[in-house]
């Protein structure tokens, strides 16, 4: 399916504010609200739009920094480990990676003790070989839409 101007406008506007009403998008596009509504449903159904969420300021709810974990696992077990990692509270993004490590997880962290606990939790998972930790300081988010930080 090729996306046209209507589809991309819907995506762009909702990326900036998921609560924009479909009527408002229709007004901007000079099309009927029904058109926008049926396009929106189609985009959802075909998996272009996976869902919607709000962006929370982690500092306001007691988190102090972001950490990236690089995880090396026993070959062929990456999916299984990923499933466990995604269940850890405070993990924001986790994915398989082609590169130095097999999986990465980006997480919000409360304090140093929390960081140590997180690292231990991951290390104790079956099939995990090792974990490297990288603490993000002075993070600049230029396009936070992909990362719900």
Partner 1 sequence: MPDKRIDSLDIKIIRLLQQNARASFKEIAAYSKNSSDTIKNRYNILLKNGIIRGSTIVIDPKKVGEGNLVMMGIKIVQPYSDSIINMIKKIPGICIVSRTIGIYDLEAIFILKDIEQIGATKETIEDFPQVKGVNVGIFVDKPLLCPKNFEFE
Chain residues that interact with partner 1, rule: CB under 8 A: 3, 11, 14-19, 46-58, 60-62, 66, 68, 70, 82, 86-101, 104, 108, 132-148
* Residue 33 Cβ vs partner 1, minimum distance, rounded to whole Å: 15
94 exposed, middle or buried (CB, 10 Å; 0-12, 13-18, 19+)?
buried
Instruction: Quote the DSSP letter at residue 10.
Output: H
Identity of the residue, 5 or 138, whose beta carbon is nearer to partner 1 in the bound complex: 138
Residue 46, helix vs strand vs coil = coil
* Residue 126 Cβ vs partner 1, minimum distance, rounded to whole Å: 19
> Is-contact 54 100, C-beta < 8 A?
no
Identity of the residue, 53 or 113, whose beta carbon is nearer to partner 1 in the bound complex: 53
- CB count within 10 Å of CB 39 equals 22
* Residue 111 Cβ vs partner 1, minimum distance, rounded to whole Å: 11
Give the whole-angstrom CA distance, residue 95 versus residue 89: 16
* Residue 46 Cβ vs partner 1, minimum distance, rounded to whole Å: 8
**Helical pair 22-29 and 5-16, crossing angle rounded to 10 deg:** 130
* Residue 96 Cβ vs partner 1, minimum distance, rounded to whole Å: 4
- Residue 29, both tokens: 């596009």
């Amino acid at each position: 399916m090729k996306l046209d101007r209507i589809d991309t406008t819907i995506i762009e506007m909702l990326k900036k504010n998921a609560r924009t009403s479909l009527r408002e998008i229709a007004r901007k596009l000079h099309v009927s609200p029904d058109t926008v509504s049926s396009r929106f449903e189609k985009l959802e159904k075909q998996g272009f739009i996976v869902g919607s969420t709000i962006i929370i300021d982690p500092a306001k709810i007691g988190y102090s920094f972001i950490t990236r974990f690089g995880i090396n696992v026993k070959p062929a077990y990456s999916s299984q480990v990923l499933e466990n990692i995604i269940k850890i509270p405070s993990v924001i993004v986790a994915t398989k990676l082609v590169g130095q490590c097999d999986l990465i997880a980006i997480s919000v962290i409360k304090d140093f003790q929390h960081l140590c606990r997180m690292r231990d939790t991951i290390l104790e998972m079956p099939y995990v070989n090792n974990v490297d930790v990288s603490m993000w300081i002075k993070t600049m988010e230029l396009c936070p839409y992909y990362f719900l930080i």
